[in-house]
Amino acid sequence: MGTLTAVRPRKVTTEIRRRVHGRHLSPLASLALFTALFTAVITGYDFASPTQVFLNLLVDNAHLIVLAVGMTFVILTGGIDLSVGAVVALSTVVLAATLQAGWPTPAAVGAVLLIGPLLGLLMGVVIEHLDVQPFIVTLAGMFLARGLCYVISVDTMPIKDPLLRQFGLDYVYLYEDKFIRWSVVVAILVVAIAGWVLHQTRFGRTVYAVGGNRQSAQLMGLSASRATVSAYAISGLCAALAGLLLGAQKLSGYSLNGVGLELDAIAAAVIGGVLLSGGVGFVLGSVIGVLVLGTIQTFVTAANLDSYWTRIMTGVLLLVFVLVQRLVVRKTGS
């Protein structure tokens, strides 16, 4: 009896270690990196309120958090979506153009939230049913969305709608003088819903199964095709919503908005522990990845460095985390 009692905790401990060293290693490493970077920036520079600095990370990157959530769905299936930055730009342009044309605010917002998932759905259908590589299809989608921006307008179009101005400019006070904006509230809701969908629904489990081993998922009777197409539609919806948040933040629509934003979303997901091969990753990990990127930008600004250092540091971190993921895959596969 004593032997069994001694063996059981040992097995539990071994299982915990295996899980930590597996799918949880990259998110934990990302969290540790964010904590170290943020602490270094706060202690190295004289910020009046470290709490507000953290809240500002959420305020400045709310649209990227939403975008990274959508990218997480796609990468979990083993795909990629290069169109999201252009869809963000198209969303801001469509929003500004429809409002200038006299559309009611709900109709303009509804049009934006319809365009994104429709484009994502179209790309998902082509990828799944015509068996075309996601890189090529979403690259075509990027050119299409960016081209439509130029067709609508090549100039900056201001957004003067009172409701959107209030949404984009009003503070949401948490306590004393600490505040966020409504865009952060929306981003938190998106993260919560996405986490629930991925971990508490059959669809979410199918997304993980398809990314982990598509053939096994199909043998289990799971609808791999539906999950893949739906993931791209969700990515398009998140891109459209991110465009709304960015448009409300900048109070303008511009065809050059979101240039390179798709790469930031991919980088955030990878740094947050989402495997590019699919099947492993968490929405919260992608959020941590966004916070890491935001902290790098804060450091570059505080240190008065040239803006290209943000890209250099992001590239180095991305390479490091890809190598970490590679080691994790090899270790868990052995």
Most confident of 26-30, 130-134, 236-240: 236-240
Q: Is residue 97 part of a domain?
A: yes
Pair 300, 309: CB distance under 8 Å: yes
Give the residue with greater pLDDT, 289 vs 176: 289
Q: Is residue 69 part of a domain?
A: yes
11, pLDDT greater than 50: no
Q: Is residue 300 part of a domain?
A: no
Q: Is residue 244 part of a domain?
A: yes
User: What are 189-231's pLDDT values in tens digits?
Assistant: 999 999 999 999 999 999 999 998 888 888 888 888 999 999 9
Q: How many domains does the chain divide into?
A: 1
Mean pLDDT computed over 30-37 = 89
Q: Is residue 153 part of a domain?
A: yes
Q: What is the pLDDT of residue 2?
A: 47
User: What are 112-157's pLDDT values in tens digits?
Assistant: 999 999 999 999 999 999 989 999 999 999 999 999 999 999 999 9
42, pLDDT greater than 80: yes
What's the 3-state SS for the chain? Answer: CHHHHHHHHHHHHHHHHHHHCCCCHHHHHHHHHHHHHHHHHHHHCCCCCHHHHHHHHHHHCHHHHHHHHHHHHHHHCCCCCCCHHHHHHHHHHHHHHHHHCCCCHHHHHHHHHHHHHHHHHHHHHHHHHCCCCHHHHHHHHHHHHHHHHHHHCCCCEECCCHHHHHHHHCEEEEECCEEEEHHHHHHHHHHHHHHHHHHHCHHHHHHHHHHHCHHHHHHCCCCHHHHHHHHHHHHHHHHHHHHHHHHHHHCEECCCCCCCHHHHHHHHHHHCCCCCCCCCCCHHHHHHHHHHHHHHHHHHHHCCCCCHHHHHHHHHHHHHHHHHHHHHHHHHHC
Give the residue with greater pLDDT, 145 vs 325: 145
Q: What is the pLDDT of residue 4?
A: 43
270, pLDDT greater than 50: yes
Could you list the residue range(s) of the whole structural domain that residue 153 is in? 49-258
Average pLDDT, rounded, for the chain = 87
Q: Is residue 329 part of a domain?
A: no
Nearest 5°: phi and psi at 108?
A: -65, -45
Q: What is the pLDDT of residue 19?
A: 44
Q: What is the pLDDT of residue 133?
A: 94
Q: What is the pLDDT of residue 227?
A: 93
Q: What is the pLDDT of residue 3?
A: 46
Q: Is residue 251 part of a domain?
A: yes
Q: Is residue 282 part of a domain?
A: no
How many Cβ atoms are within 10 Å of 316's Cβ, its own excluded? 11
